[in-house]
Amino acid sequence: MSESNGRITTRGAVVMRAEAVTKAYGGTHALRGVDFELRVGEVTALIGENGAGKSTLMKILAGVEQPSSGTITLDGEVVAFANPTEALSRGVAIIHQELSLCLNMSIADNIFLGRERVRNGAVDFAAQREETVQLLERLEEPLDPRTTAADLRLGQQQIVEIARALSEDARILIMDEPTSALSHAEVQVLFRLIRELTSRGVSVVYISHHLDECLELADTAVVLRDGEIVARAPMAEVDLPWIVSQMVGRESGDLYAPMAYDPGEVLLSLDGVVVSDPDSPGRLAARDVSFDVHAGEVVGIYGLMGAGRTELLEALAGRNPILAGSVTLDGKDLTGLSVEDRIDRGLILVPEDRQRDGLVQVLSVGRNMALASVGKFVQGLFLNPKPESELLAETARGVKVKMAGFDAAIGSLSGGNQQKVVIGKALMTEPRVVVLDEPTRGIDVGAKADIFALMASQAREGRAVLFATSELDEVLYASDRIIVMARGRVVAELDPRTTSREQLMAIADSPAQATNARNEA
Amino acid sequence: MTATQQSPKTSGSVATTGRTRRPIIGDRGVGEFLLDQRAFVALIVLVIVFALLSDAFLTPSNLITMTKHVAYNAILALGMLLVITTAGIDLSVGSIVGLSGIVAGVMLQGWQLSLFDVTAYPAVWVVIIVALAVGALVGSLNGLLVTRFNVAPFIATLGTMYIARGAALLISNGSTFPKLQGDPELGNTGFSFLGVARPLGIPTAIWIMVAFAIVIALLVNKTRFGRWLYATGGNERAAQLSGVPVKKVKMRVYIISGICAAMAGLIIASELTSAAPQTGNTFELNAIAAVVIGGASLAGGRGTVKGALIGAFVIGFLSDGLVLVGVSSFWQTVIKGLVIVLAVILDQGQERLKKARAAAQAAQSVKQEAAEREAAKAA
């Protein structure tokens, strides 16, 4: 741990370097031979779509994960961090995309968690509070260090996370979506702080879906696509269209052409729906959302992180209450109905997080798939296994799930097949409206194609399909109609046949301009 | 990016998977088979060891006596199994045993209805139904606390444990009701049937245990409620989003557990022909131990009727066997504790094994899919 001697501090010199780094999870590669370098006092924006490998690369730099192959050098010396604490002791700090505060503890306790200031064998709470006050002053967020983290707004919690990284005097600061919960004013404070840090020789890696932020802040842009670095350029030489075309890997105008479709009557109708954020009930996740979904069409909701897609869909399914507005299915009001009533009426959700919300790990494939529709097989007191196994077999063929059998453990399936089981579970209820939240998250390309084909075929059978995604290509490819959400509002309704990636991204990114550019499909 | 790239061979394999009977030992090896059946193996080992140590152990009369002792705990364990499968716990069952006995005692001794200034002597079947209803009532209180007021099951049932015990003490004023055999003149005889009679040479308690076991096994394995039960305990969020009424499920398991406990209380009161308010103290712990030895997970979602029954037999045969071979009661307690801890350690080992296998299979299938995609691309 010899820190002082070999430190590289010359402005513009490479301080940290990743060479030929690969990372494989099971059989899938998240990173394939990535070369990446960080220079003293510079902000490097790491840009790419979801699943491009940005977070994985940063986790490797910060010691959260270890590369499958390749080397990391810091100050010209090869390092292999076993854990984040080791990386931190060398000055590499990371602010994660997911907030990781202990909500039951105070701000000061959180900032010094795991490296408490100790004096005479006891924690020196006064010194910790003192330092916390100073850190928060630098961030222009004068909070009482004794405030419990649970009492903070999401944005304030994010600032505490940032303060924690700063408290360690990091030389390399990795920020993974630090602004997703910040207000515009808070973002400006953060930017000032980042500039102050870089002027003192700190190197920053900045990851954000908001490309305008990257343009404003970064010195260098690095674009990652499918686990490989596809472009690298000084920020002064590039513009938004260049970044987008590098991200998506095609020149603009190169569209998939969704099939012509023939929408039927309105099945699902939202009118002025308001939903609060279940994690922080004071914040509204969706405001005044109105749109219709017709029989026979696939409607895609596109939006960046924090746009309110998941909260809206969960409220449609009955998990979270709808604060205002109405939702009707086939003209009948769904207000106040439970999840099971809505499933009976024909609306079911395929949730975003299949491990947490979609699957029961202790149950077999068959039991999981039949879970939402067991009521169909009740005869007298007992379940009749014959129609159940028949419908299971039929559904499994329909969703093309590959498995050893219905008795197989759900954990023995690949991610794509697990997702097909969750979709099969929804289809077994014979729904009229299928709602899917990020249906292709964390699954491979082949399974993605299967799932999109399935969504299309469900719509052709007269169902209404509503899905949400944060991936440009997917929403353009799989939708008959696109609804764009930003910060809780519907900002545009677009026709995928006449919309380019650039337009879509620009609208989702800057909601203020987009409201004028409403383009009825 | 089309759906046709999936080879028809692989999607066809789905159709052939009907109900395949698993081989008894299969490809897993003997060691793992024994690990899987560890509760049953433990029971066999117990029987063999005690049979070698004592000639009296394996006699029919001793086996029947021991099984009768097992019966109360088994009935409690069956109710507890349902609660634990939903990731809950029911600490109130021991107190319900006491309370149901006292309720039966009060009614058989003469139920003073001060409002009408009469003493009623209800028939035995009325007594039994009222006592079971009291168990169901305490159970529904548990369910209400857990589902409506979001009290953690441990705390909710800890509270009702004291409440039910206190109620038993209040009703009986702390004293025992003796002589529950009833009076032919009052037409309330027959209570002894539950604890003393031996239809077909087998004590009624054992018949009741068998009946409860069959009903609960059917409930768990053959009904919609059974599916809901495992899903609720396995992943409550996923179950809820699949339309499982998780609150209703939880409510019901506590009610069933209360009824099971009340039944056990009736059998004990009948056998002793008296009801004491302290009866059933710490019975809840034996019931939990039986369920856990039987392979259920306190985290929920896992557990079988067969396992809970075997667990009850292991605990019962162990206690009675140690008495029979003359081991001191202090050592009995220590040994029982060791068995419980060992059971859980083995369970953890097996879970790790299962998870590792599932992960390996998943990795395998991912590789296979990648290979198939490559092949499709090449073709």
Task: Express each pLDDT in B83-130 by its tens digit.
Answer: 999 999 999 999 999 999 999 998 888 777 766 777 777 888 989 999
Q: Tell me how close the Cα of B89 comes to any Cα of chain A, in angstroms.
A: 19
Low-confidence ranges of chain A (pLDDT < 50): 1-4, 251-257, 511-521
Nearest CA in chain A to B242: A372
Query: pLDDT tens digits for B13-50?
Result: 444 444 445 555 555 677 777 777 888 888 999 999 99
**Per-residue pLDDT tens over the stretch B129-140:** 999 999 999 999
CATH 3.40.50.300 maps onto chain A at 14-104+168-248
Asked if A447 contacts A419 with a C-beta cutoff of 8 angstroms, the reply is yes
Interface contact flag, A26 B362, Cβ < 8 Å: yes
CB within 8 Å: B366 and A349: no
* B223 neighbourhood in chain A, CB within 8 Å: 378, 381-383
Which tokens go with A312? 């809206």
Q: Which ipTM did the prediction report?
A: 0.80
Which pLDDT score is estimated for A260? Answer: 62
**Tokens representing B10?**
């692989």
pLDDT at B214: 97
Domain A14-104+168-248: CATH class, spelled out: alpha beta
* B22/A411 CB distance under 8 A: no
pLDDT value at residue A510: 60
pLDDT tens-place string over residues B169-192? 999 888 888 877 777 777 777 788
Length of chain B: 379
Closest to B105 (Cα-Cα) out of B37, B58, B51, B171: B171
* Per-residue model confidence (pLDDT) at position A412: 82
Rounded CA gap, A97 and B292, in Å?
A: 39
The confidence score (pLDDT) of residue A384 equals: 92
Average pLDDT over residues B213-242: 94
Is the backbone of residue B342 left (phi > 0), alpha (psi -120 to 50) or beta? Answer: alpha
Question: Is B245 close to A340, i.e. CB distance below 8 A?
Answer: yes
- In whole numbers, what is the pLDDT of chain B averaged over residues? 86
Give the residue from chain B lying closest to A374, CA to CA.
Answer: B224
DSSP state at residue A162: H
pLDDT of residue B264: 96
In the structure encoding, which two tokens stand for residue A96, read together? Answer: 């994660």
Strand A228-234: give its sheet, edge to edge.
A92-95, A172-176, A203-207, A43-47, A220-225, A228-234
Confidence at residue A259, expressed as pLDDT on a 0 to 100 scale: 60
Which residue of B242, B369, B372 is the best one to mutate when testing the A interface, meaning the one whose CB has the most A CBs within 10 A?
B242
* Two tokens, residue B96: 């319900």
Asked if A36 contacts A21 with a C-beta cutoff of 8 angstroms, the reply is yes
Nearest CA in chain B to A451: B3
Q: Chain A: give the shortest CA distance to residue B147, in Å.
A: 15
A vs B, Cβ pairs < 8 A, gives 169
The pLDDT of residue A237:
86
Placement of tokens 């002791």 in the chain: A89
Q: Give, as one character, the DSSP assignment of residue A218.
A: -
Residue type, B48: I
Mark residue A34 as left, alpha or beta (left: phi above 0; alpha: psi -120 to 50; beta: remaining): beta
Top-confidence residue, B256 or A259? B256
Residues A521 and A263: their CA atoms lie apart, in Å, by 12
Domains of chain B, start order: 49-358 (1.10.3470)
Band of residue B68 on the pLDDT scale cut at 50, 70, 90 = very high
SS3 category, A232: strand
Residues 335-354 of A with CB under 8 A from B: 338-340, 342-344, 348-349, 351
